[in-house]
Chain A
Amino acid sequence: MKRILIAVILVLLTAGTAFCGDTVTPSPKIDTGDTSWVLISTALVMLMTPGLAFFYGGLVRRKNMLSVLMQCLMVLCIVSLQWVLFGYSLSFGPDKGSFIGGLNWSFLRNVGLTPNADYAATIPHQLFMMFQLMFAVITPALIIGAFAERMKFSAFCVFILLWSTLVYDPVAHWVWGVGGFIRNWGALDFAGGTVVHINAGMTALAAALVLGRRQGFPNGMSPPHNLPFAVLGASLLWFGWFGFNGGSALSAGGLACSAFTVTHIAAAAAGVAWAVLDWLKHKKPTTLGVITGMVAGLVAITPASGFVTPMGAIWIGIGAGVFPWLAVTYIKNLLGYDDTLDAFGVHGIGGIWGAIATGIWATKAVNPAGADGLLYGNPGLLWIQIKAVLVTAVYSFVVGIILLKVVDVVMKLRVGEHDERVGLDLTQHREAAYTLID
């Protein structure tokens, strides 16, 4: 064990020196405006993971509050390291058979401050790597919603590392990496509808099924312990999403502005749509409904954000209010799975809707580098989008199940019945979120 550790440390040390040699003087091609915007966007996307933590944290019971915050923050730490050591290289490194990136860029070798024209010609390559890092972080964090309140923390850490390496990295390569096969089909995914949301959403469904229901589900559960925290979290997500989608233009110009605008509009339309449905079905519009709708709208516009008009965004937002609403109101009850915080209902269904909607409303008038969709006379794009959805969904669901089962056999995924009843804060972390007496 010690020898392995020393070997790893040596590799890290030498990798560091190699990296230092690579950081050549910045090329004159770097655009300061583009670089500024992507730097800011990267920080905005980083903020989404703590935002998600509060969104999810407010919705669990008070005895599990810290466990959710902790899981989100731990994803931020673990995946950041995985990404710079080898994750970025697996996703974006030189293509191997259209399936995965090679290890040439592991330890950030060859990822210096000179732009990489294949991905972003006007910003430092390292900045592109950091921007993508934040996406790699928030994606596995989304899955937490499905297994919240019952997963063992040690098993969680192992699962996240495996999932990032074997699911996120390959899928990111297929869709965004040069040479990736879905990218070669011509599928459009501006900011991560397939890579982030369908990917996380399908594994979330897998996790809800493999881990099973929480004790007392569905009727013996307490309501969300702090909806104001959930509102705070959802608001931070909306704010961060300007970087998520706007930053995906990788430049500061018209395209970033267009993505920024449609992102905002879709979130607004979906928030209204969800409120109206709640009003009709349950007699009252709910706070939780509106923030869920907002997030679903942001999810759905993600793949479309660089390709659709503001009016298209309204339709995509309305759809994002309707389909995830149906999923969490009816389908979940019908099938009886316990997706604690509806990670599948919101991100899976919202993501699938967004990817398909991109095939309907995309237009070259917004982005000449994109494609026309169904409404602009090109039904072919819709079919390509559906294919991309299917491949991603099946891969992430099947590999998700396999990884969860493997971790379960090795170390058990779920906490014991007693620990679940007492709560994960106390049993997994020996802490409590709130004191009763000061």
Chain B
Amino acid sequence: MKYIIAVIQSDRLDEVLKRLEEKEIHLVTVSDVVGRGRQKGIAEVYRGHKEKGSLLRKIKLEIAVNDEFVEPTIKAVIDGAKTGQIGDGKIFVLDLPECIRIRTGERGSEAIG
């Protein structure tokens, strides 16, 4: 099992969700985040005062999948999120030692889907 974290451009969310759905990956947690990468932030100016180190808004997706779904998930996120410009984001893939469905107590691979 893997835990996939993707940070993407805010406006690509709908497209990424659509691609994930096409690959029958329905479980996803989405959060609004701010951050900074190679793109840096756009410096904001308030009454002439330039804010340093501004952060940009991004969307963070968290998806837990069984091993055979790792590559389709990565492909779906890239297909949906890629614009070819700096700031498209990153995907991180982590090992996931355990997963438990709270309602039934099922564990491991069955609990994920």
Residues of chain A having any CB pair with chain B under 8 Å: 218-219, 221, 223-224, 278, 281-282, 284, 286, 288-289, 292, 325, 328-330, 333, 342
**Stretch in B9-17, B45-53, B56-64, B68-76 touching the partner:** B45-53
Chain A residues with Cβ below 8 Å from B46 are: 223-224, 286, 288
| Contact of B44 with A by CB under 8 A | yes
Q: Mark B32-56, 1 if CB is under 8 A from A, else 0.
A: 0000000000001111110110100
Total interface residues in chain B, CB < 8 Å: 9
**Bound-complex Cα distance A333 to B54 (A):** 20
Chain A binding surface, main DSSP class: helix
Closest to A281 in B: B48
Contact check, A223 vs B51: say whether CB atoms are below 8 A apart.
yes
The 4 closest A-B pairs by CB, nearest first: A329-B48, A282-B45, A328-B47, A223-B51
Contact check, B51 vs A329: say whether CB atoms are below 8 A apart.
no
Contact check, B47 vs A289: say whether CB atoms are below 8 A apart.
yes
Contact check, A328 vs B48: say whether CB atoms are below 8 A apart.
yes
Of B44, B49, B51, the most chain A CB neighbours within 10 A belong to B49
- 27 CB contacts below 8 A, A to B, read A218-B49, A219-B52, A221-B51, A223-B44, A223-B46, A223-B51, A223-B54, A224-B46, A278-B45, A281-B48, A282-B45, A282-B48, A284-B45, A286-B45, A286-B46, A286-B47, A288-B46, A288-B47, A292-B47, A325-B48, A328-B47, A328-B48, A329-B47, A329-B48, A330-B48, A333-B49, A342-B47
Chain B residues with Cβ below 8 Å from A286 are: 45-47
- B57 CB to closest chain A CB, in angstroms? 13
Chain A residues with Cβ below 8 Å from B48 are: 281-282, 325, 328-330, 333
Chain B binding surface, main DSSP class: loop
**Bound-complex Cα distance A159 to B45 (A):** 33
Chain A residues with Cβ below 8 Å from B45 are: 278, 282, 284, 286
Chain B residues with Cβ below 8 Å from A282 are: 45, 48
**Bound-complex Cα distance A219 to B46 (A):** 12
**Bound-complex Cα distance A342 to B49 (A):** 12
**Bound-complex Cα distance A289 to B45 (A):** 10
**Bound-complex Cα distance A299 to B46 (A):** 20
- A224 CB to closest chain B CB, in angstroms? 6
- B48 CB to closest chain A CB, in angstroms? 3
**Bound-complex Cα distance A224 to B49 (A):** 12
For the complex with contacts A286-B45, A330-B48, A333-B48, 19 further pairs of A-B residues with Cβ separation under 8 Å are: A218-B49, A219-B52, A223-B44, A223-B51, A223-B54, A224-B46, A281-B48, A282-B48, A286-B46, A286-B47, A288-B46, A288-B47, A289-B47, A292-B47, A328-B47, A328-B48, A329-B47, A329-B48, A333-B49
Q: Mark B14-27, 1 if CB is under 8 A from A, else 0.
A: 00000000000000
**Bound-complex Cα distance A278 to B49 (A):** 11
- A296 CB to closest chain B CB, in angstroms? 11
**Bound-complex Cα distance A221 to B47 (A):** 13
**Bound-complex Cα distance A281 to B46 (A):** 12
Of B47, B51, B52, B54, the most chain A CB neighbours within 10 A belong to B47
- B22 CB to closest chain A CB, in angstroms? 32
**Bound-complex Cα distance A256 to B47 (A):** 33
Chain A residues with Cβ below 8 Å from B52 are: 219
Chain A residues with Cβ below 8 Å from B51 are: 221, 223
**Bound-complex Cα distance A330 to B44 (A):** 17
Closest to B47 in A: A328
- A76 CB to closest chain B CB, in angstroms? 26
**Bound-complex Cα distance A287 to B58 (A):** 23
Closest to A341 in B: B47
**Bound-complex Cα distance A281 to B45 (A):** 11
Closest to A324 in B: B47
Chain B residues with Cβ below 8 Å from A328 are: 47-48
**Bound-complex Cα distance A288 to B52 (A):** 18
Closest to B51 in A: A223
- A233 CB to closest chain B CB, in angstroms? 15
**Bound-complex Cα distance A333 to B46 (A):** 13
Chain B residues with Cβ below 8 Å from A219 are: 52
- A271 CB to closest chain B CB, in angstroms? 14
Chain B residues with Cβ below 8 Å from A292 are: 47
**Bound-complex Cα distance A329 to B47 (A):** 6
Of B46, B48, B51, the most chain A CB neighbours within 10 A belong to B48
**Bound-complex Cα distance A329 to B48 (A):** 5
**Bound-complex Cα distance A281 to B49 (A):** 12
